[in-house]
Chain A
Amino acid sequence: MLRHMGTYRTTAPDEPAIESTLSALLFQLGRELYAIPAEAVREIARYRSYTPVPGAPHTLPGIISQRGAILPVIELRPLLGLPEAPLSRAARLVVAHVGDVEMALIIETVIDLIEFPLAELTPPPPTLTGPRAALLRGVITREAQPVALIDLEALVAALGAEG
């Protein structure tokens, strides 16, 4: 079970302001790196086929049974404007929650659990527009590569609205 690992330092009046960090699950979709807050992650499971649901939008195509609960499965690629791609053996189902809503995100490759200072989070570039920009909380740089931090609440709100 992953827990939020934010850290705080108490400061004396003449010391610099409190620095806070965010723990996030780093993963890959195609050649791009993304992250979601670790506190939202309940479990990471090996990928298995979901049960398609007739009438479901293509971003929310089906369901799985996980520890007795029926969870909706989310396809991130169409939500992020990425083309379809086959899954490899590295694919995983990341069981995450937003408030009381639980879901299983299809992830191509889980890379690591990372921690970074919130101060390093920058807004998405202005050249990024449309639905995809609305799903990103910001961007950090890790080993010279940009990592887009997904806003899970915005993602849930966008489900089914893309048509």
Chain B
Amino acid sequence: MLLIARAAEHAYAIRRADLLEIRLVASGQSLNTDQHGRPCEQVELATLFAYSATPARQRRALIVPLRRRLVALLVDEIEAVEVATSPSPLPELLRTRLNPPWSVGALLLGDELIVQIDVRAIAMSYVANRASFATPSPATGEEVKR
């Protein structure tokens, strides 16, 4: 199944199978750890793509499981879609020049051409290079309800 995530007025297709879960998060809320004690880091997806994140009261957190931690990619909206065909690969001229190689395909949904992104690659890249990404300041103290 594919999900369509929207962040800063851009839409991205994501494989549901790449996510542990999807959570609703209040603006400024911090996702500290999961039930197994794994730390959860959060970052606005729009920020990683060099867009300004859209301020909103609530964010949708796409929880990506890595080996020792979780990464929550925050987006504006998320919806599930049924698609008749799988996303197509990006044109080779573009695909071989991506840096970082986070975009893996594209699909046409109605009139909208949507890029498919690899959230695991994004999460791993964020963890490896987090010092170079701007992150939101979470509110202090509030426990995440499980």
Residues of A bordering B, CB below 8 Å: 51-57, 60, 63-65, 70-72, 101-103, 156, 159-160
List of A residues within 8 angstroms of B103 by Cβ: 53-56
Minimum CB–CB distance from A107 to chain B (whole Å) comes to 18
Residues of B bordering A, CB below 8 Å: 10, 12, 48-49, 88, 90-94, 96-103, 106, 108, 113-115, 117
A-B interface, 7 closest residue pairs, ranked by CB to CB distance from nearest: A160-B97, A55-B98, A72-B94, A51-B113, A72-B91, A54-B49, A65-B113
Return the chain A residue nearest B122 by Cβ: A54
Looking at chain B's contact residues, the main secondary structure is: mixed
Given contacts A54-B117, A56-B94, A156-B93, 10 further A-B contacts (CB under 8 A): A51-B114, A54-B12, A57-B99, A65-B113, A70-B90, A70-B106, A101-B93, A103-B93, A159-B93, A160-B96
Q: How far is the CA of A101 from the CA of B91 in the complex (A)?
A: 9
Looking at chain A's contact residues, the main secondary structure is: strand
- Most chain-B CB neighbours within 10 Å: which of A52, A54, A156, A160? A54
Return the chain A residue nearest B111 by Cβ: A65
- Please determine whether A55 and B113 come into contact, CB atoms closer than 8 angstroms: no
A63-B106, A65-B113 known; A56 vs B91 contact (CB < 8 Å): no
List of A residues within 8 angstroms of B117 by Cβ: 54
Choose among B88, B92, B98 the residue that contacts A53 (Cβ–Cβ < 8 A): B98
